[in-house]
Amino acid sequence: MNNNHTIILALTAALASNAMAGDPQFTLEDRNSSATFDVNNGQISWDVDGTSQLFAQEFYFRRATDQSEVLLSSANLSLDGVFASDTNPFRDDSIDTLAQLFSDDNGLQIETVFSLRGGTDGSGRSDLAEQIIIRNLSNETMSLSFFQFVDFDLGGDFSDDSGEIINGNTVRQSDDEYSISETVVTPQPTIFQVGDSASMTAMFNDGNADDLDGNASWQGDVAWAFQWNITLEAGESFLISKDKSIVPTPGSFALMGLAGLVATARRRH
């Protein structure tokens, strides 16, 4: 076994041990980016070039027998496994991919996989690929709704953002400095919602069964959510594949370039 594989296995074992021992946080790193995940609270940070961009990303589900949405967490489901790895070991030795496996006693199994790809230092760019696999391991048909809730505070503040959902599967949110886009590669969500962060957070935690309302745009403290209504036969699985990208807004990128030209000019004199 080579040294890279030894390091990966050692780190994976340590992460899994920490999770089971009650230390639930894992931080992925790649080039100019880092992202922290908590097995009890979802994704709790995404920093790009030292700037905080994300307040929260959470996943919820609602089985046919549930009276309200349930947060995907080790507090509500059994945490069966954690695997972390460095998927580009020839470039660095940082953990950049995290897989988590949750289940209940009735045959529901949910696996999440996150892969972080940073940009060059100072570029303001970063990418996060995500897969969620929902499996029915029971012998009976299973119906449920699955939700993704996202609250970005681009540039570290929350009051000046605008967001919209296009074609039912693509989100664009921006402020004066940064832009975030997310595309659901497959499958098309059943419904979506863009709205006020506080109101949407309250909706997912009000103890009632809620469905998204299809609102496609919002300005201010923006949050968004996707909902998939799923029916799985015994042994079937359902794969959600998504990708998020953070980039500087065109205006801020131009200013960054102008600053670089000025700095270069000054060095030449």
pLDDT tens per residue, range 229-256? 999 999 999 999 999 999 999 865 444 4
CATH homologous superfamily, domain 3-268: Glycoside hydrolase, family 65, N-terminal domain (2.70.98.40)
pLDDT tens for 160-170 read 899 999 999 99
Rg of the chain over all Cα atoms, to the nearest angstrom: 20
Check whether 149 has a pLDDT greater than 60. yes
Q: Are 126 and 47 in contact (CB under 8 A)?
A: no
Global model pTM greater than 0.95: no
* Cβ-based neighbours of 113, under 8 Å, separated by 6 or more: 97, 98, 99, 130, 131, 132, 133
Which residues face 191 on adjacent strands? 227
pLDDT tens for 29-61 read 999 999 999 999 999 999 999 999 999 999 999
Q: Are 76 and 70 in contact (CB under 8 A)?
A: yes
* Cβ-based neighbours of 225, under 8 Å, separated by 6 or more: 147, 148, 149, 150, 192, 193, 200, 204, 212
Q: Are 172 and 164 in contact (CB under 8 A)?
A: yes
- Residue 142: pLDDT band by 50, 70, 90 thresholds? very high
Closest CA to 32 of 102, 101, 127: 127
Check whether 130 has a pLDDT greater than 90. yes
User: Cα dist. 105→108, 113, 208 in Å?
Assistant: 7, 22, 23
pLDDT tens for 80-108 read 999 999 998 888 889 999 999 999 999 99
DSSP 3-state of 229: strand
pLDDT value, residue 89: 83
pLDDT value, residue 22: 57
Check whether 3 has a pLDDT greater than 70. no
pLDDT value, residue 251: 64
